[in-house]
Amino acid sequence: MLREITLDLVRVTEAAALVSSLQLGRGDKEAVDRAAVDAMRGMLDYIPMRATVVIGEGEKDKAPMLYIGEKVGTWEADSPEYDIAVDPVDGTRLVAYGLSNAISVLAAAEKGAITYLPTFYSWKLAVGPELAGKLDLNLSITENLRRASEVLGVKISEITVVVLNRDRHRDIIEEIRSAGARIKLISDGDVAAAIATAIPESGVDIYMGIGGSPEAILAAAALRCLGGEMQLRLWPHSREEKEKVLSDGYDLERIYRTEELVSGEDVVFVATGITSGDFLKGVRYMRDKVITESIAMRARSRTVRKITAYHDVKHKHVPLKSRGGDVSFFELQR
């Protein structure tokens, strides 16, 4: 059944990308996120499914947008039931300041297949198919790079590691440099960065570091479709969060792997580029046309489809939840 609605899910991320792209370079991150969520919510209302957001913007009382537990879809009695993970904009700052690699993302799986993580951040290690099952988050960075070098048949100096450019990663960056590997620092957008490890033409071999737990789930869904791997360990960012996680019975030493993060017989991952990057081209405006590039993947068949769509501005309508239905994209541009 997921196969039948895959294109509908692409339309969801397309809508979010189109509407949020109108905020490109305006310096307002909240406006970027608000626009994407409005369009994503509006389009989800059209899809014949009973879906629950299990990875979203937070709990209902803390997030005014797509929140954990929110019901989306038509919810007709005979429609299939799914859990979904969403990130209307992975890289709101990237869109706000006109930087590369921002995408709109959604993953869907059967009910109960997507794991909820209790911490905002996690320690993550992502690799493509060649390195899947070969590295271990419990090992040192140096040892993992040595193993990667051996498996790939290249010198450590030929391996490229992507890391978020954060103060908390100073020691990680220093160890990678000391081992002799190359580093690609990114400011935001770690969903696309983790997925890039499984895209040969990206030139990226490993993604590692401390980043958002919701983003880890979304990347894990894509890596399941691509044959890559995500390893993860919970990383509480405050004493209060650590105490709560421990009191809830979570093991902070446990390593979660791809199939534990996103399980089930079938998983679908879709994304649309907002600003151009290594993974997808961004929204492009050409006179009376707007061009989007999206990707759709299924774990069951390992099928990956790139979809280029040409939207006629004067005829394009986008459903916005705040407006209660379709709105002319031409009018939104004005």
For position 238, which CATH number holds?
Answer: 3.40.190.90
Helices (H) and strands (E) in the chain, counts: 10, 16
Is the model's pLDDT at 266 over the cut of 50? yes
Is the model's pLDDT at 141 over the cut of 60? yes
Is the model's pLDDT at 234 over the cut of 60? yes
Structure tokens that stand for 45 in this block: 């209302």
- Give the structural domain span for 167: 121-261
For position 105, which CATH number holds?
Answer: 3.30.540.10
**Domain check: are 93 and 138 in the same one?**
no
Given pLDDT bands bounded at 50, 70 and 90, which one contains residue 72? very high
Interval 287-333: pLDDT, tens: 899 999 999 999 999 999 999 999 999 999 999 999 998 999 999 98
Q: Mean pLDDT of all residues in the chain?
A: 94
The pLDDT of residue 241: 95
Q: Using a pLDDT cut of 70, give the percent of the chain over it.
A: 98
Beta bridge partners of 265: none
The pLDDT of residue 64: 56
Contacts of 224 (CB under 8 A, 6+ apart): 258, 259, 262, 267, 269, 299
**Domain check: are 325 and 241 in the same one?**
no
Which of 261, 277, 303 finishes a domain? 261
Sign of CA dihedral 178, 179, 182, 188: negative
Phi-psi region of 227 (alpha: psi -120 to 50; beta: other; left: phi over 0): left
Given pLDDT bands bounded at 50, 70 and 90, which one contains residue 334? confident
3-state secondary structure of 88: strand
Which of 208, 229, 261 finishes a domain? 261
Structure tokens that stand for 100 in this block: 């590369």
**Domain check: are 242 and 310 in the same one?**
no
Which of 229, 261, 293 finishes a domain? 261
**Domain check: are 271 and 245 in the same one?**
no
**Domain check: are 69 and 90 in the same one?**
yes
Is the model's pLDDT at 48 over the cut of 90? yes
